[in-house]
Amino acid sequence: MTSISTKWAKQIKSLHLKKYRKAEQQFIVEGEKAVLEVLASNWSVTALFATESFLQQHPEAASKAQMVQACSSDALFKVGTFSSNDAALAVVAIPQWPAFREQSQQWTLVLDSINDPGNLGTIIRIADWYGIEHILCSPDTTDCYNPKVVAAAKGSFLRVQLHYADLTERLAATRLPVFGAYLGGENVHQLQLNEPGGYIVLGNEANGISQAVGQFISRKITIPAFGSAESLNVGIAAAVICDNLKRLTAHC
C-alpha cells in the first residue's frame, strides 16, 4: 500500500498544532463517518488520504476532494491522532464564518475558558442536537479545530458556528437574558421564561464562570443534585440545561 509523502506527512502533523492550523487555515478530519460528512458538505477538502477499501466503497464522495491518494491504514495512523484508522483522513480548509449576530429568538451557548478538547467537542455535538447554531467562546477556550475537538464533535462541527470574542463586550451590550450555570441558583427544572432565547454561559471545568463574565449574568441557574457527587462534567451540564431550556421555550 502507498505511503504518504514526506511533504504531506509533515503538513498533516503540523496541523495537530493550533499555530499551524491558524497559519495554513486548514485542519484535519479523521475516521470514516466524519470524513464522509465533510465530503458531503460544501466545505473545501484540500486533500483526502484513504485506504483502498474506503475509496472503493465511496468513489463519489472521494471525488469531492481536490486531491485523493490511496494509502495504508498504518500510514494514516502515523500522521493522524487516532489510535487506529482503517478508513480516511481529510485536510480541510477552515471556513470563514460571518461575524456573530445576536439571535433574539434563539439560544446561544457561551463558553468561558473551556479547556478540555473532549468537553468542547461534546458541547458542539449537544448544541447541534438541540438546534443551537452559534457558540460564543472566550479567546482562551480550546481551538474548535483541535483534532480531539473535531473527533468528539462527530460531524456536528459542520453545523455549529463557533465565534471567539471578548465575552464581556458581547454580554455588556445585550438586552437578552443571560443565564449562568452555577452550583447555587434557580432550579433549572422549575424555571419560568419570559423570552424564547438568550445566552447560556458555561464556565471553566475547574473554576467555573469567571468574575469578569459573571457580572453580566442576569439569572444564575443550577441543576439540582439528588446524590453526593461534587459536580457535573461541563458537557453533561450543558446537555441538561439545554434540554430544560429548549423544553420550556416551547411554552413561551
Is residue 250 over pLDDT 90?
no
Gap between the Cα atoms of 199 and 202, Å rounded: 10
Mean pLDDT in residue range 116-120: 98
* CB crowding 198-218: b at 16 or more within 10 Å, else e: bbbbbbbeeebbbeebbebbe
What are the tens digits of pLDDT across the range 146-187?
999 999 999 999 999 999 999 999 999 999 999 999 998 999
Q: Are 24 and 91 in contact (CB under 8 A)?
A: no
Q: Is the pLDDT of residue 41 over 70?
A: yes
What's the pLDDT tens digit per position in 200-216? 999 999 999 999 999 99
pLDDT for 251 = 59
Q: Which domains does the chain have, with CATH numbers?
A: 6-93 (3.30.1330.30), 107-249 (3.40.1280.10)
pLDDT more than 70, % of the chain: 99
Nearest to 12 by CA among 86, 69, 97, 53: 69
